[in-house]
């Protein structure tokens, strides 16, 4: 299947450059990637503009703030691009990727090689500590193992795990719910009714910055608390304020 990559960003600026430059080396001609930017500034730096402009597989889109809103906008853009410009009607893989994920060519190769019977999935994750912040290395090595195991058992995934969905299934579900938090959990619950997730790809490394800044135990407890509140019916609008400490 063809591969479409959606990357929501917010106020990343030129911090995105090294990651984007590495990723574009892995792209094949049939791949498509869109950066969906909800940053406060309307202008790109000249360097970032040049990188995006000079790689035909890479596209740039402005959007309202909100990860679900951004990911839906990116998916719609790429789906329309494949249908109208490339005259393709076969399903493609939509991969929703965070800009702090340390992917390799193996992840893209894995997604391109998926059987058309695979409708969705995610990758096991491994935390990468930020060198400028003190790290509880033991906790940072154990927590992802439990995250990976829990998601395999419950079939409920998080955005850090690089969720991928077949494009026709994403359209059938009408994309992510327009909520400010828990959009990954909400769509997982709908997807698992349609089929089991593929979780057999290579490990995806992701930044541990938030865990290091806030502490591993407080972050775990906050996540559990938010999930419980969501399960009890608390609005994501309320939860997002607690998530960001407002």
pLDDT tens profile 79-132: 888 666 655 667 899 999 998 888 789 999 999 999 999 999 999 999 988 866
Express each pLDDT in 135-160 by its tens digit: 788 889 999 999 999 999 999 999 99
What is the pTM (predicted TM-score) of this model? 0.92
* 22-31, 60-69, 83-92: the lowest-pLDDT one: 83-92
What is the β-pairing status of strands 120-121 and 164-166?
A: antiparallel
């Amino acid at each position: 299947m063809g591969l479409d990559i959606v990357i929501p960003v917010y106020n990343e600026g030129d911090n995105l450059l090294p990651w984007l430059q590495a990723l574009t080396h892995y792209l094949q001609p049939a791949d498509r990637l869109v950066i969906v930017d909800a940053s406060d500034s309307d202008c790109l730096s000249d360097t970032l503009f040049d990188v995006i402009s000079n790689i035909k597989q890479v596209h740039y889109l402005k959007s309202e703030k909100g990860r679900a809103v951004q990911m839906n906008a990116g998916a719609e853009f790429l789906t329309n691009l494949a249908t109208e410009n490339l005259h393709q009607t076969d399903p493609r893989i939509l991969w929703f990727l965070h800009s702090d994920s340390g992917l390799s060519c193996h992840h893209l190769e894995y997604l391109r090689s998926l059987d058309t019977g695979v409708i969705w999935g995610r990758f096991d994750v491994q935390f990468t500590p930020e060198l400028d912040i003190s790290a509880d290395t033991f906790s940072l090595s154990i927590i992802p193992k439990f995250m990976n195991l829990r998601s395999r058992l419950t079939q409920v995934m998080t955005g850090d795990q690089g969720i991928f969905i077949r494009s026709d299934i994403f359209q059938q579900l009408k994309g992510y719910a327009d909520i400010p938090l828990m959009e990954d959990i909400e769509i997982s619950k709908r997807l698992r009714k349609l089929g089991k997730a593929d979780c057999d790809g290579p490990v995806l490394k992701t930044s541990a910055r938030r865990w290091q800044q806030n502490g591993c135990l407080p972050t775990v407890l906050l996540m559990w608390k938010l999930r419980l509140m969501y399960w009890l019916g608390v609005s994501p609008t309320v939860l997002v304020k607690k998530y960001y400490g407002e």
